[in-house]
A and B are shown apart, each in its own frame.
Chain A
Amino acid sequence: MGTDKTDFMSGRYKYTITVALALVIIVCFQSNSFSSGNTDLQATDSSSEEEQEEEGFNPGEMIMDHVVDHYSWHIVTIGDTEVSLPLPVILYSEDRGFFCFWSSHFDHGHETYKRFRIAQEGANKGNIVELDEQGNVEEDLPLDFSITKTIAAVFVSIFILLGIFLPIARRYKRQPNRAPKGLQSLLEPLILFVRDEIARPSIGEKHYEKYMPFLLTVFFFILLNNLLGLIPIFPAGANTTGQLTVTMALALFTFIITQLNGKREYWQEIFNPPTVPWWLKFPLPLIPLIEFVGIFTKPFTLMIRLMANISAGHIVPLAFFALIFIFGDMNPIAGYGISVFSLAFTVFLTLLDLLVAFIQAYVFTILSALYFGMAVGEIK
């Protein structure tokens, strides 16, 4: 039953990804043509960065700038002044030890501070690089424990999560046999959904209770972050669950919990599956090898799926907005004309993303539950 559901779901988000990718490719081609134009110009008069920024609108850069992580949290740009929240930068340099300062010292990447600067190009673009005494960029990156925009947004979501669930839990504790009220009655069906539709059928009656805290936390964490990502105003709007690192951390939890709880049957299924004919296991352990790789591909797909879906959810509406400016660069009237169409599509896509936010939280949770179910081996 569970796999049917996920197959159905995967069909749906495959569609989303395809649409997203198609649009991204279109946008990237356009941006390439623009940027190549820019480089031609740049080549002719070898202009500085600031001049390049004035050259025109680069949609690819704009979109990626919105989706990737930053050292400061950009809130709004009024005229030429960028209003952004400075975040703490924490660095460890092998030569010089720990550094801790506000990201505002970089002045959005324009300044060098304590021989650190944000790389503006190259392989480490956007990351903090260390400069040697001559002002040249060093090869090795400093160890970077900065509280970036993503982790700050994660903290915000954590505060919201705790602010929602701790009072609700108190109500459950104080008035256990009362009908749910307010926010409680909104969240109780979701909690019951995770318990009765995800954990119970996937893990089995005997073991499911042990995994409920993780499944609930992961479900609500992803859901809340997905939803916050859709709100474009500070302190929401950061692309947290669309960051590979964030989803990697979540998938890592699933991976570790699965391996720690693997029963004998689970490992047997991997290294010596009893239903597989012997010549697939000996002398060349083909199936065990595939199964062993499968241990890692399962959380890997969890990681990629969530990140790709949510990032696509951010990229596609941005691409539609970018269209306004692309057309506006050609002709202001065309820009206004396309804006109606873009806005309509963005509204539609945001609604779709609302659905995707729930689906992805559900998919991540149910797949984690299925992996736990495999590990404990109650349900065949």
Chain B
Amino acid sequence: MELIRPDFGLLFWMLVSFGIVLLILRAFAWKPILNALKNREKTIQERLEVARNAKKELAEIEFGNERIIALAKTERANILREAQETKNKIIEEAREEARKEASKIIEQANKRVEKQKKEAEEDIKNQIAGLSVQIAEKVLKERLSDDQRQKEYINSLVNEITIN
């Protein structure tokens, strides 16, 4: 047998045996192996994807939390500010109210005082008038006790009147 002379029998056996090996390995080795490798790659790919998504979601949730906290903080600040404002307003209003009430009371008191004053004045006037009349009566009684004096007085009065 020579090295570089093809041998028909050997070629025949080679073709048959290699062909059979090819078919056996194709059916029972390469297909399952290649499929498994492909599936594994797919699974890995999918899991990586899932992990990436989960990470993204987590980040989003964290971001959401922060946002909620920030929101709550501003809300709290708002509420506090509003409460402050309301408090101030209420106080202010109460003060205003009190002031109004006070002024009203004062005014009423003033009015009453005025009225009483007037009444008192009236009263005093009346009393003074009465007293004056009594005094005048008394004076006149005295002055007109003698005739002389009566005449003089009447004359003076008449004089006065005429002048007027």
Contact = CB atoms under 8 A, between A and B. Distances in A.
Pairing of A with B: yes
B83 interface: no
B21 A246 contact: no
B71 interface: no
A82 B18 CA distance: 31
Interface stretch (A160-168, A329-337, A348-356): A160-168
A311 B7 CA distance: 16
B26 interface: yes
Contacts of A125: 1-2
Contacts, number: 129
A244 B6 contact: yes
A245 interface: yes
A189 to B, nearest CB: 11
Given A68-B3, A191-B33, A209-B34, A165 B10 contact: no
Contacts of B14: 151, 154, 245-246, 248-250
B68 interface: no
A364 B145 CA distance: 174
B22 A244 contact: no
A370 B157 CA distance: 160
Contact of A245 (B6, B29, B30): B6
A252 B15 contact: yes
Chain B at the A interface: SS class: helix
B39 A212 contact: no
Interface string A87-128: 000100000000000000000000000000000000001110
A248 B11 contact: yes
Contacts of B22: 213-214, 217, 253
A217 B29 CA distance: 10
A356 B1 CA distance: 25
Contact of A162 (B4, B21, B32, B40): B21
A249 B18 CA distance: 8
Interface in A53-104: 64, 67-70, 90
Interface in B42-88: 43
Interface residues of A, number: 54
B34 A249 contact: no
B31 interface: yes
B38 to A, nearest CB: 9
A166 B3 contact: no
B9 A177 contact: no
A243 B5 CA distance: 9
A165 B18 contact: no
B140 to A, nearest CB: 141
Contact of A168 (B7, B17, B29): B29
Contacts of A343: none
A146 B9 contact: yes
A57 to B, nearest CB: 20
Given A165-B25, A245-B10, A177 B40 contact: yes
B106 interface: no
A311 B18 contact: no
A120 to B, nearest CB: 12
A247 to B, nearest CB: 9
A325 interface: no
Nearest to A315: B3
Contacts of B9: 90, 143-146, 148
Given A148-B10, A155-B17, A249-B15, A173 B30 contact: no
A160 B40 CA distance: 27
B6 A177 contact: no
Contacts of B26: 213-214, 217
B17 A144 contact: no
B105 interface: no
A166 B28 contact: yes
Most chain B Cβ neighbours within 10 Å, of A67, A68, A155: A68
Which 9 pairs across A and B sit closest by C-beta, in order of nearness?
A: A249-B14, A172-B36, A213-B26, A126-B1, A165-B29, A169-B29, A245-B10, A144-B9, A145-B9
6 contacts: A64-B3, A147-B13, A165-B25, A173-B32, A191-B34, A248-B11
Interface of A: 64, 67-70, 90, 125-127, 143-148, 150-151, 154-155, 158, 161-162, 165-166, 168-170, 172-173, 176-177, 188, 191-192, 195, 209, 212-214, 216-217, 221, 242-246, 248-250, 252-253, 307, 311
Interface of B: 1-15, 17-19, 21-22, 24-26, 28-37, 39-40, 43
